[in-house]
Chain A
Amino acid sequence: MKKISVILASLALVFAMTSCDKLKEPYKIEPPVIVVDTNLVQLTAEDTLNFDGKIVVLLEDYTGVRCVNCPEAAEIASQLQEQNEGHLIVLGVHPNTAYQIPYNDVTDFRTEEGNDWNNYFNIDSYPSGTVNRKEAIGNPEWTAAVNNVIGSDAPVRLIVKTAYNESEREVSLSVYSKFLTTVESDDVRLTLCMMEDSIVGPQQTTTGVNTNYMHRHVFRGTVDGLTWGRVLDINSGSTIESGRYFATNMKFNVDEKYNADQFYIVAFITDHNTRQVLMAAEAKIK
């Protein structure tokens, strides 16, 4: 009996020690972005005329520099993007597992947000992907999943406008969301991502490490530090009615280590309750 009691006491101690997350200051993060009320980059008539009313789909490619089959998946993603020009956005997400351990400073593409998304979708093998964040699927299923949604009517007209101040490396960003149908959700969010395209660096391939591999669509974190986006309308009830219009404006600086010539803002609107993407949009900052 004594033995059992000792075992129980030890188990209790282990349980107690692992079940407390004692945090240290700072407890809150105030994002380095400046959010303003005035529209920084105006919407033009041309922007709205260019919108064809069809959905823009988000394909997130969960990938890694040490993942041997990932280049093949990236190729599928790029082809799908070409085939569905203007209606498919690709984001290469590098979470934080053994497959993403960088070869050098250039190839550290890991982000905290990407890792949180990865964990939410329970992804533990690479390549994997999500199409409009429905569920995690392997790359052979991407084409069918994309074709399944492409061509449907957009529930939201989402337009990203940017302006870039070269000397300050400052981006002014205006995101215009107009709801075209009533969305039944009490938590609709806008996620704003930084994406850097075409980075040359080592990548594991089927024939060994290719040091001149072109990494496409690399997710560099969210603009405002919010993993799951910002609530579009904090006063909304259980729906956002068709016709509602939101403008989100902010300013931020592009880190020196990123190539501003290949820098994009990817925006997408989600129903946070299901995490599913309703609509996506992107814009190059330059």
Chain B
Amino acid sequence: MKKILLIAAVMLCATAAYAQDILSGGKVSGSFQVDGNYYWEDKGIDITEESLDGQLFGAYGFGKLQYQLGNFTAGIRYEAYQTTPMSGFDARVKGNGIANYFATYDNGTIGITVGDIYDQFGNGLIFRTYEEWTLGYDNSLRGVRAIFRPCDGVTFKGLYGKQRYYWVSYDEERGLVRGIDGEWDLNRSINALNGAKFKATLGASFVSKYESEKEHVDGDIKYILPQNVGAYAGRINLGYGKIGLSAEYARKINDPSAFNNWIYREGQELLASLSYSQKGLGMVLQVKRVDNMSFKSMNTALRNDLDIGFIPPINYTHSHSLPSMFSYSTQPLGEMGMQFQVNYTIPKKTLLGGKYGTKLAFNFSQVNDIKRNPIKVDGVEVPVYEPGTEGYDSPFFEIGDRVFYRDINFEIEKKINAKWNLTLMYINLHYDLDKIEGHEGAEDVEANFAFGEVIYKINRKHSVRVELQHMWDNIGENYDIDPMHPDFYVKRGNWAAFLVEYTIAPKLFFSIADKYNYGNPISDNRDHYVTGSIGFIKDQTRIALSGGRQSQGLVCVGGVCREVPASSGVSITITTSF
């Protein structure tokens, strides 16, 4: 593995040096990241020789280079993933090679890209390709994209290609994706609206996938498959002074797949948001409805792969260690959600605002299932999700009874004086462990969290940050557990956590943290997860070294999650860019 990384680094450096030499005048930029993990046995949290499977060392690295000369840009990314059972990555990411490359010419009116394309139409409901290193996720489109801007404010895009599917050859079976998008920014293209208080952007897109298979055979039943599946979306963004309104609606025709149990129902999705902002006050209300919108370029794909569409999450993203163990993962088959967020700053020099003002934030978000009613086929009622039928009927405005996720949180941030800064937060969380993590039959999590953080600046360079957290779970030490399903209780029960961090700005920090699951209903699970970290930053380079235990949890980015098992060991992350 080290050898491979070394060769990769040398190759990339050589390419860069060569490029700089022959194309002087251009600009070369790039970034590198190497993550290394060394795991060891830890019987306290059930990490045995067997679970490590002899694979003690995991390493993941990438190098990204970009060259730009005038209207021309080209880039390349090399990836190497040496995964282990402990890393929690999908085993298919394992491998190394040039994962992506592209070349673009864009003169402002016409832009052409060949190679691997990352792009999105509107909010990405029917098309979004992106790469997320921490998830091991990459659904880039290898093909061609053309952009045409006939006049200021008007953009047309057209693209086609095949999506990346881990390291599987692009010649192998999966669908072609074709899409077009148009966007019109009225304020830029109509002179009378230039600089006007009223702002408007309109957009529309159409995406189609083509798969060659005409049928899916399951035993004796043959499902007739549409070879071309189209999806279309329209969007509008309006603004007037402090008020903003945006909405996007998408629809997809029959797209039977393994993911939706081979039903032929059309999919639809609505995402809308209303916002208001002025000095010291910001409010946003978002609503979302998703119905049968899994859109993948291979109808047998079942996991986080080959997604053409993207479902934006509308939940608060927790960064603190205890609540972040319960992150929400979006549900493409169906969900109805809303979020309301208010940020208010109590002005300076008032009784509650004090010398520096006081920041308050309130967030409420809830996601329910959609309502599904059984349908009749030839006069006979069939079960919901019966394959080879429309699947179910779902009234647009009716909310399903099942609550997947609810988060109510309130935060106060107060700078007390030049040296002290205080943050307090309260969170009330409902988390459907069955739906989100697939523990079928597990009881929902109903938890309350308290969080407090104090930052003390010793002097201009040195500061200390102390964080305390507690989680009260509805399942306690005396809970009558289901002995057949110990996996239901891995992170249940009360937790307490602390973190102390010492920073010597701008180069160095040390921290020590502990999470203690003292109230777990299974006494063997009442473990401490102690970690120590050191970080070093110089210019564009950051090195972080940490060691200790990691608890089982989900890593989620943008509502897409991967599960990370509990582990014990040391890890190092080096990132640099130029």
B330 CB contacts on chain A under 8 angstroms:
none
Q: Is the CB of B150 within 8 A of A5?
A: yes
Main secondary structure of the interface of B (DSSP, over half): strand
Q: By the criterion CB–CB under 8 Å, are B388 and A12 in contact?
A: no
In A226-247, the 8 Å CB interface with B consists of 226-228, 230-231, 234
Q: How far is the CB of A169 from chain B (nearest CB, A)?
A: 21
On whether the beta carbons of A19 and B178 are closer than 8 Å, the reply is: yes
Which B residues between 258 and 275 are near A, CB-CB below 8 angstroms? 264
- Contact in complex: A27, B224 (CB < 8 Å): yes
Shortest CB distance B400–A (Å): 25
Complex: chain B residue closest to A9, CB-CB: B182
Separation of A4 and B256 alpha carbons in the complex (Å): 37
Smallest CB–CB gap between A111 and chain B, Å?
Answer: 14
**Across the interface, which residues of A come within 8 angstroms of B256, CB to CB?**
27
**A33: chain B residues within 8 A (beta carbon):** 220
State whether B253 touches A20 (Cβ < 8 A): yes
The residue of chain A having its C-beta at the shortest distance from the C-beta of B178 within the complex is A19
Asked if B388 and A22 make an inter-chain contact with CB atoms under 8 angstroms apart, the answer reads no
Which residues of B from 138 to 164 have beta carbons under 8 Å from A?
Answer: 148, 150-151, 154, 156
- Given A5-B150, A29-B224, A31-B220: A19 touches B210 (CB 8 Å cut-off): yes
DSSP majority for the A interface?
Answer: loop
Closest to A116 in B: B214
Task: Tell me whether A21 and B264 are in contact (CB under 8 A).
Answer: no
Q: Point out which of A4, A8, A224, A231 has the most chain B C-beta atoms below 10 A from its C-beta.
A: A8
- A25, A27, A225: residue with the most chain B Cβ atoms closer than 10 Å: A27
Q: Is B230 an interface residue when CB atoms closer than 8 A count as contact?
A: yes
B221 at the interface (CB under 8 A from A): yes
CB distance from A6 to the nearest CB of B (A): 11
Assess whether A8 is in contact with B148, with CB atoms less than 8 Å apart: yes
Does A261 count as interface, using CB distance less than 8 angstroms?
Answer: no
Contacts of A227 in B (CB 8 A): 214-215
Most buried by B among A5, A12, A28, A228: A28
Chain B residues with Cβ below 8 Å from A5 are 150, 154
Interface size class of B (residues with CB under 8 A): 20 to 34
B150 / chain A contacts, CB cutoff of 8 Å: 1, 4-5
- CB pair B229–A21 under 8 Å, yes or no, is yes
Contacts of A30 in B (CB 8 A): 220-222
A89-110 vs B, CB cutoff 8 Å, 1 = contact: the mask equals 0000000000000000000000
Which residues from A are CB-within-8-Å of B388? 26-28
How far, in angstroms, from A8 to B154 measured CA to CA in the complex? Answer: 13
Do A23 and B264 touch (CB < 8 A)?
yes
In the assembled complex, B389 has its CB within 8 A of some CB on chain A: yes
A16 located at the interface, meaning its Cβ lies under 8 Å from any Cβ of chain B in the complex: yes
Interface status of B206 (Cβ within 8 A of chain A): yes
B192 interface residue per 8 A CB criterion: no
CA gap between A30 and B182 in the complex, in Å: 43
Query: Given known contacts A8-B148, A16-B206, A22-B226, is B217 in contact with A29 (CB within 8 Å)?
Result: no
Q: Does A35 contact B (CB under 8 A)?
A: yes
Q: Find chain B residues with CB under 8 A from A225 CB.
A: 222
Min CB gap A100→B, angstroms: 20
- Which residues of chain A come closer than 8 Å to B228, judged between CB atoms? 18-21
B residues in contact with A8, CB < 8 Å = 148, 156
Question: Is B232 interfacial (CB-CB < 8 Å)?
Answer: yes
The verdict on B338 contacting chain A, using a C-beta distance below 8 Å, is no
Cβ of B220 and Cβ of A224 under 8 Å apart?
Answer: yes
CB distance from B169 to the nearest CB of A (A): 13
Please tell me if B120 contacts chain A, counting CB pairs below 8 Å. Answer: no
Q: How far is the CA of A29 from the CA of B222 in the complex (A)?
A: 5
Q: Is the CB of B180 within 8 A of A12?
A: yes
**Is there a chain A Cβ closer than 8 Å to B257's Cβ?**
no
**Residue B304, interface by CB 8 Å:** no
B227 within 8 A of A: yes
Known: A4-B150, A12-B182. A23 touches B254 (CB 8 A): yes
Nearest opposing residue in chain A for B227, CB measure: A21
| B217 cross-chain contacts in A, Cβ below 8 A | 226, 228, 230-231
List residues of chain A with CB within 8 A of the CB of B377.
25
Residue in A closest to B214 when the chains form the complex, CB atoms? A116
A226 contacts B178, CB within 8 Å? Answer: no
Any A CB within 8 A of the CB of B223? yes
Q: B150 → chain A, closest Cβ, in Å?
A: 5
A228 to B228, CA, bound (A): 20
Chain A 178-222, CB-CB to B under 8 Å as 1, else 0, gives: 000000000000000000000000000000000000000000000
Is B224 a contact partner of A12 (Cβ separation < 8 A)? no
| Residues in chain A near residue B208, CB distance under 8 A | 15-16, 19-20
Asked if A29 contacts B221 (CB within 8 A), the reply is: yes
Nearest B residue to A33, CB-CB: B220
B107 to chain A, nearest CB (A): 16
CA distance A18 to B229 in the complex (A): 10
Contacts of B182 in A (CB 8 A): 12
* Residue ranges of A at the interface with B (Cβ–Cβ < 8 Å): 1, 4-5, 8, 12, 15-16, 18-23, 25-31, 33, 35, 116, 224-228, 230-231, 234
Closest 10 CB pairs of A and B: A28-B388, A19-B208, A20-B230, A21-B226, A29-B222, A21-B228, A1-B150, A16-B206, A19-B228, A27-B264
A and B contact pairs by CB, cutoff 8 A, 18 listed: A8-B156, A12-B180, A12-B206, A15-B206, A16-B230, A16-B232, A20-B208, A20-B230, A22-B226, A22-B253, A23-B226, A27-B254, A27-B256, A30-B220, A31-B220, A31-B221, A224-B220, A231-B217
Given contacts A21-B226, A31-B222, 20 further A-B contacts (CB under 8 A): A5-B150, A12-B180, A16-B208, A19-B206, A19-B208, A20-B226, A20-B228, A20-B230, A22-B253, A23-B254, A25-B377, A27-B254, A27-B256, A27-B389, A28-B387, A28-B388, A35-B220, A225-B222, A231-B217, A234-B219
